[in-house]
Amino acid sequence: MNTLPNNILTPSITMPEWLMEIEQAYLGKQMLGDETKLLFAIELAKENVCHETGGPFGAAIFDIRTDELVAVGVNSVVPANQSWAHAEMTAFSHAQARLETYDLKGCLLATSCEPCSMCFGATPWSGVEKLIYGAEGSSARRVGFDEGDKVTDWQNALEQRGIRVVGPLLKEKAEEPFELYRSMSGVVY
């Protein structure tokens, strides 16, 4: 057990080196269309599995006006020992740090899978104006992931809060990270 002074909280994670290389290569570059952005998030999920740096989930934040990449995130729960380190949460945190604001107004989230209950809850607070997702939550549950309790009409709940929701898109492609993770016997929590 790590012994830290009682007054130190360290809710930070180190993103994988391969991810930072991809982000640097695409940072500020335009990705036109919802499917292009979503394919990028799905590829992040697959790379995360291939590099064995976390679960089969990837996310990216884009500027709505320019279609430019702002930040990326992948699931890092197991390697970071942080239950909050889902792809959407790491993407939100990374984008907020980069933009030096807690409010991601003017941004969209592209995520390889429908948000779990935690990420669904964090989405309005992040300030994003649009959410694009690939696989349905049932895909994550089939592998064994606990997606938590979420309102059935979650898309409408976000729409009511001014967040446009698009998905599921590219469902077959979005299933690939899960199939790969299962074949590699990844940790399910």
Structure confidence by residue, pLDDT tens digits, 116-172: 999 999 999 999 999 999 999 999 999 999 899 999 999 999 999 999 999 999 999
Alpha-helical runs (H) found in 32-169: 34-50, 77-80, 87-99, 117-126, 137-143, 154-160
What does the pLDDT read at residue 59?
Answer: 99
Residue 182 C-beta-side C-alpha neighbours within 13 Å:
12
The backbone torsions φ and ψ at residue 47, rounded to the nearest 5 degrees and listed phi first, read -65, -35
Q: Rounded to the nearest 10 degrees, how much is the dihedral formed by the CA atoms of 137, 28, 31, 33?
A: 70
* DSSP state, residue 132: E
User: What percent of the chain has a predicted confidence (pLDDT) above 90?
Assistant: 88
| Pairing verdict, β 107-113 and 130-135 | parallel
The backbone torsions φ and ψ at residue 76, rounded to the nearest 5 degrees and listed phi first, read -130, 25
Q: Hey, which residues does 185 pair with through a beta bridge?
A: none
* DSSP state, residue 52: T
pLDDT tens by residue, 76-106: 999 999 999 999 999 999 999 999 999 999 9
The answer to whether 159 is a known catalytic residue is: no
**Superfamily in which the 17-183 domain is placed by CATH:** Cytidine Deaminase, domain 2 (3.40.140.10)
Catalytic, out of 23, 88, 114, 176: 88
What does the pLDDT read at residue 9?
Answer: 57
Mean pLDDT, all residues of the chain: 94
Q: How confident is the model at residue 107 (pLDDT cuts 50, 70, 90)?
A: very high
Q: Hey, which residues does 164 pair with through a beta bridge?
A: 130
| Tokens (6 digits) for 167 | 């998905």
What does the pLDDT read at residue 12?
Answer: 76
Give the residue extent of every domain in the chain. 17-183
Q: How confident is the model at residue 186 (pLDDT cuts 50, 70, 90)?
A: confident
- CA-CA distances (angstroms) from residue 3 to 7, 10, 172, 181? 11, 12, 45, 33
Q: What is the pTM of this model?
A: 0.93
| Tokens (6 digits) for 111 | 């995520």
